[in-house]
Amino acid sequence: MKVRLMLPDDDLDLDAPLPSWTDDLVVDLQAEPLFEAMAGGDDLLYAVARQVLLRPLDDVALIEYRQQILRDCSRVPEVVRALYELAGDALDVRRRVFGGFMRDNPRVVLHHAIDVLADLLPYLRRLRRIADEAMDRLGDSGLRTLFAAIVTDLDENYCQQVEAEIARLQLPGGVVIGKRLGLGNAGVGDVLHRPERQHLADRLGFGDTRSFSFQVAARDQAGVDALSDLESRGVNRVADAAGQAADHLVGLFRKLRVELGFYLGCAQLQTALETAGVAVTRPEPLRTDGSRLTAHGLYDPCLVLGGAGGAAARPVGNDLNADDRTTVVITGANSGGKSTFLRAVGLGVLMSQCGLFVCAEDWTWTLRSGLFTHFLREEDATLTSGRFDDELRRMKDIVDAVTPGGLVLMNESFASTNESEAAEIGAEVVQGLTRAGVGVVVVTHLYALADRLQHSRDEPLFLRAERRGDGVRTYRLVEAEPLPTSFGADLYARLSPWPEPQR
């Protein structure tokens, strides 16, 4: 019986290392509030959200698999929460008993295993009852498959079988161990005989052969220890089998909790967004060839979810019509919403490709093989040359990792060197990427770079951060070609007075 709520043929491995560029992705997209909203203060939910969101799927069938389960989960939200909590309770019971220091003593291993099995058996029965009651309300999804398996595999007959085995594992009749001679004539090849054979031996002796017996004196500590060592060796493999059974049982509850945790997190995120009064859309991934990406009313959910600021402004939604475009170039006023929009695109890819809804009115896209970010970092401005070097190194890492069909988000890349060099290097990189079939969204205030890209064969889509005649920013992006000036002057003016020297 497998849980399989995240992938049809595998478990979610929470400990699987994320790709090396993931940390950059989280920092650049400022994605923490998203994870926190899904977690709602629960560390496990946080870990699950992070692991799943940062590992976008690139197979439409897998995305649909999760979307179906997500739909079923929203039909029985209280059941999802109840099972998540039941699994948590079961694991809590275990945590009290299950120490990590029991190795190297098979009898201790065996007794721990018996304790675990006995403690978790009631939870197994409760799990079956909950699944049984909820079955009728589910559609056709991986969740229903799981519930069906629980009801069938964990029927009462089986639970009684488990109960009986737990009793036998106590070895009430002592041990009977088959052996042969090994190195130095030591007894090896221990096979612990079945309990039935112990009873047989009690009644009949060991067949018709002779036997010799001896007794170890109770006060002879060395003898008692030696005897205990022999017994330990005899039960080693049975302890292993019982220990593995206990692990599987714990593993079942653990996986149940982890994988349900994703859907619980989705529900919590949706509640948070609905409370804020913003729309989400459940997109359908396109199976067509080519590169499609069209969105309306796309916004950055992390602005709504607040984070530190608290005063969550209603975000401005923007449109993007980038079907069959390899390059999108965003220019325009400083603080005009360029970076925010870039982040919204990135989060849209991550959310849609993990099976989640997207923060937009609609979102129509073909899957990207990977998402990468290359943002100017203010914080590593320690040494000018070192900083440029660091930018190059990060870009090199992206080039080494990205595959055709991937998407790279660049935000003021190479701004740590002078404009003409930055433009030249930037254009080289963008064109190198697009020629390999990698999509690029570039935010830049460098006219030189935008100008170079405009005259390349890529025919980029140009968006510009809008500025009204009175200089006020609307945070809206419009399709417009780059203008040969920056808006630094008015930003400077807005922040006045400056401590400028008096003439």
Which residue lies nearer to another protein by CB, 267 or 433?
Answer: 433
From 23, 89, 133, 229, residue interacting with another protein (rule: CB under 8 A): 229
| DSSP-derived pairing of the beta strands 327-332 and 439-443 | parallel
Residue 33 to residues 75, 273, 343, Cα–Cα distance (Å): 26, 12, 13
Residues 196-225 that bind another protein (CB under 8 A): 197, 201, 205-218, 222-225
Which residue lies nearer to another protein by CB, 429 or 443?
Answer: 429
From 252, 328, 351, 463, residue interacting with another protein (rule: CB under 8 A): 252
Q: How far is the CB of 449 from another protein (least distance, A)?
A: 14
Per CB under 8 A, 113 contacts another protein: yes
From 61, 133, 158, 274, residue interacting with another protein (rule: CB under 8 A): 158
Per CB under 8 A, 77 contacts another protein: no
Which residue lies nearer to another protein by CB, 11 or 362?
Answer: 11
Q: Distance (Å, rounded) from C-alpha 55 to C-alpha 350?
A: 8
From 49, 134, 138, 245, residue interacting with another protein (rule: CB under 8 A): 245
Whether the CB-CB separation of 274 and 37 falls below 8 Å is answered with no
Per CB under 8 A, 280 contacts another protein: no
Q: Find, among 117, 128, 123, the residue nearest to 244 by Cα.
A: 117
Whether the CB-CB separation of 91 and 72 falls below 8 Å is answered with no
From 100, 290, 484, 497, residue interacting with another protein (rule: CB under 8 A): 100
Q: Distance (Å, rounded) from C-alpha 45 to C-alpha 54?
A: 14
Per CB under 8 A, 401 contacts another protein: yes
Q: What is the 3-state secondary structure (H, E, C) of 66-83?
A: HHHHHHHHHHCHHHHHHH
**H or E element at residue 32:** helix 32-39
Per CB under 8 A, 283 contacts another protein: no
Which residue lies nearer to another protein by CB, 297 or 437?
Answer: 437
Which residue lies nearer to another protein by CB, 99 or 499?
Answer: 99
| DSSP-derived pairing of the beta strands 461-467 and 473-479 | antiparallel
Whether the CB-CB separation of 446 and 487 falls below 8 Å is answered with no
Residue labelled with tokens 């959200």: 49
Residue labelled with tokens 């990590």: 100
Interface with another protein (CB under 8 A), residue total: 129
Q: How far is the CB of 370 from another protein (least distance, A)?
A: 5
Residues 37-66 that bind another protein (CB under 8 A): 55-59, 62
Q: Distance (Å, rounded) from C-alpha 409 to C-alpha 131?
A: 44
Per CB under 8 A, 402 contacts another protein: yes
- Bridge-partner residues for 411, per DSSP? 375, 443
Per CB under 8 A, 191 contacts another protein: yes
Q: How far is the CB of 415 from another protein (least distance, A)?
A: 12
From 5, 12, 329, 407, residue interacting with another protein (rule: CB under 8 A): 12
Which residue lies nearer to another protein by CB, 55 or 71?
Answer: 55
Which residue lies nearer to another protein by CB, 210 or 503?
Answer: 210
157's tokens: 């007959």
Per CB under 8 A, 121 contacts another protein: no
- The residue type found at 176 is V
By the 10 Å C-beta count (0-12 exposed, 13-18 middle, 19+ buried), 196 is classed as: exposed
Per CB under 8 A, 435 contacts another protein: yes
Q: Distance (Å, rounded) from C-alpha 360 to C-alpha 354?
A: 16
Q: Distance (Å, rounded) from C-alpha 68 to C-alpha 8?
A: 12
Query: In sequence order, which ranges of 276-330 are alpha helices (DSSP H)?
Result: 301-304
Per CB under 8 A, 455 contacts another protein: no
Q: How far is the CB of 313 from another protein (least distance, A)?
A: 33
Which residue lies nearer to another protein by CB, 139 or 189?
Answer: 189
Per CB under 8 A, 186 contacts another protein: yes
Q: How far is the CB of 376 from another protein (least distance, A)?
A: 15
Per CB under 8 A, 131 contacts another protein: no
Q: Distance (Å, rounded) from C-alpha 339 to C-alpha 323?
A: 21
Per CB under 8 A, 189 contacts another protein: yes
Residues 304-363 that bind another protein (CB under 8 A): 353
Q: How far is the CB of 66 from another protein (least distance, A)?
A: 11
- The residue type found at 181 is L
**H or E element at residue 473:** strand 473-479
Per CB under 8 A, 13 contacts another protein: yes
Q: Find, among 369, 373, 326, 324, the residue nearest to 345 by Cα.
A: 373
Per CB under 8 A, 288 contacts another protein: no
By the 10 Å C-beta count (0-12 exposed, 13-18 middle, 19+ buried), 468 is classed as: exposed
From 43, 104, 140, 156, residue interacting with another protein (rule: CB under 8 A): 104
Which residue lies nearer to another protein by CB, 177 or 491?
Answer: 177
